[in-house]
Structure 1
Amino acid sequence: MIISSFNEGRSFFEIPQIKKHAVGASFLMVVIVLIGYVLYSTVSWMWDDQRLPLSKLVLQGDLEYVSALDVQRAFSQLDYVGTFMSQDVDVLQDMIESIPWVSNAAIRKQWPDTIKVFITEHHAIAIWNGNAMLNESGHVFNGDIGKLKGDHVKLYGPEGTSEEVLQVWQKVSNQFQSLGLTITSLVLNERRAWQIILDNGIRLELGKESLEERIERFIYLYNNLGSEAQKVSYIDLRYDTGAAVGWFPEELEQETTDD
């Protein structure tokens, strides 16, 4: 068999090229392995529970009722607060938003060990059913009512009616303010009947229907009572026309005058 010298010459020149490529590929593989090892080591170090623990808390926001201690107590309910890399901020956010006075919270981590928390508090508009509070949207939230500052109207209603009761109070309050009166309590009972107690002690029974018309009827009646209004205990407006007026007993009036 005769082998062409052309083929022999080609093989002779290709062998150094193959060796050159093999060396280059080996070097590239070594570099890739080294980079992978460094990345793996770095990530493993950063995710190690003993590295970069979150140990500082920065609390931000216009806060009146929520303290750093409240946030720390919320975090203490977790099995543990993780590291800068491992801790899920959504979990922290859920814990903070479980604090009664917190409306919402925004959290971010700051390298290498700090949690920054921006809190928006609920703004209490009214006391709800004696043991909870309503914010401006009619959302019910719990909190220490004893810490609540200033006077607040007391609203009452069945479960699920907080928004409706708040809206009615906001709607009718101005009508009483025109008489120099303030609503201290507004009640929607289980039968869907309305009752109002004013700061001068008069109780209004308004029934289920024609709420605005009955309030206007009270205003007309009150303006005509003049000084006699201070003797009124309640006014029942659950009629198509007119009203029934209940008076304080004379003995009670005398005691009040003597004081």
Structure 2
Amino acid sequence: MWNKPQLMNWIANFLFATAVVMMLYILLYAVVHLPIFPLREVKVEGHLSHVTHEQISLIIEKHLKGNFFTLNLERTRDAFEKLPWARKVSVRRRWPDQIDVVIEEHEVLARWGDIALVNTYGEIFHAASDASLPVFYGPGDGVAEVSKGYGVYNAILNQAHMKIEQVTLSPRRSWEIKTDKGMLIALGRVDMESRLTRFVKSYISTLHQLELNLRYADLRYPNGFAVRKPGNML
């Protein structure tokens, strides 16, 4: 090897280049860690109804460590996304000394049994709420399906001045809804939307006028339905 000057020159150049790169890295590392790039402002934006100023201040105090360059944006985002009402969070640097945080809150749609809440995207999240909300029941993989069905069926019932208080989807995908009038409606597994539409039209034109105080409606018939008032079947 010592008799090969070209190889020796290549090795020398490689070692020199490596040393230069390492020196530049060390210099850059030292510069970005100097106290001349302090983080002076954290700007938090978003339509925030549930995320509090106290929660934001606590996260800033506990998790925002480092200066403008060394702050870990991914860890900062993760810290904010752990807030119960935070659905999505974006974090970015703004030169020369600011961090911008944008928080998208969950918009609550319903309760998932008594264990969680459901947002308008059909996603489960865990937070506290004292709002009066409809209640969804169903299999674990049916949250989005129940949320979508709720929107469709509630819009139909609104035509009869009713709204849904409870939706149940069985493991076999059979639907049952309870209205704010105290009526339980069995929709079945097929043609749910058309069956409910037919029932609502009859309810508006006839059944409501009779003031029957209906408690149950079985719509699982191909060409009709059965209704029941307290103590009777019509």
Q: TM-score range by the shorter chain?
A: 0.7 to 0.9
Do structure 1's residue 57 and structure 2's residue 42 form an aligned pair? yes
Do structure 1's residue 94 and structure 2's residue 75 form an aligned pair? no
The equivalent residue for 1:247 is: 229
Do structure 1's residue 70 and structure 2's residue 51 form an aligned pair? no
User: Structure 2 CA distance, aligned partners of 1:152 and 1:175?
Assistant: 18
Q: Deviations over 1:187-220 (max 9, x none)?
A: 2122311011111111101122221232134224
Shift of 1:84: 2.9
Q: Deviations over 1:24-75 (max 9, x none)?
A: xxxxxxxxx9xx79x93x8526426x77665753322221111232234445
Shift of 1:83: 3.0
User: Structure 1 CA distance, aligned partners of 2:212 and 2:55?
Assistant: 47
Do structure 1's residue 225 and structure 2's residue 175 form an aligned pair? no
- Stretches of structure 2 lacking an aligned partner (at least 5 in a row): 1-19
What secondary structure does 1:232 align onto?
A: coil
Residue correspondence of structure 1 range 1-259 to structure 2 within 5 A? 40=27, 43-44=29-30, 46-47=32-33, 54=39, 56-74=41-59, 78=63, 81-109=65-93, 114-146=98-130, 148=131, 151-222=132-203, 223-249=205-231
User: Structure 1 CA distance, aligned partners of 2:88 and 2:171?
Assistant: 32
Amino acid in the other structure paired with 2:30:
S
- Stretches of structure 1 lacking an aligned partner (at least 5 in a row): 1-32, 251-259
User: Structure 1 CA distance, aligned partners of 2:197 and 2:102?
Assistant: 46
Q: Verify the 8 A CA contact 1:75 1:95 in the aligned structure 2.
A: no
TM-score normalised by structure 2 residue count: 0.73
Over the residues paired in the alignment, what is the CA RMSD in angstroms? 3.1
User: Structure 1 CA distance, aligned partners of 2:127 and 2:144?
Assistant: 18
Amino acid in the other structure paired with 2:191:
S
* Percent of aligned positions that are identical: 27
User: Structure 1 CA distance, aligned partners of 2:140 and 2:62?
Assistant: 29
Larger radius of gyration: 1
Larger helix share, 1 or 2: 1
Q: Measured at CA, do residues 249 and 51 of structure 1 come closer, stay the same or move farther in structure 2, by a change above 3 Å?
A: farther
Q: Measured at CA, do residues 177 and 58 of structure 1 come closer, stay the same or move farther in structure 2, by a change above 3 Å?
A: same
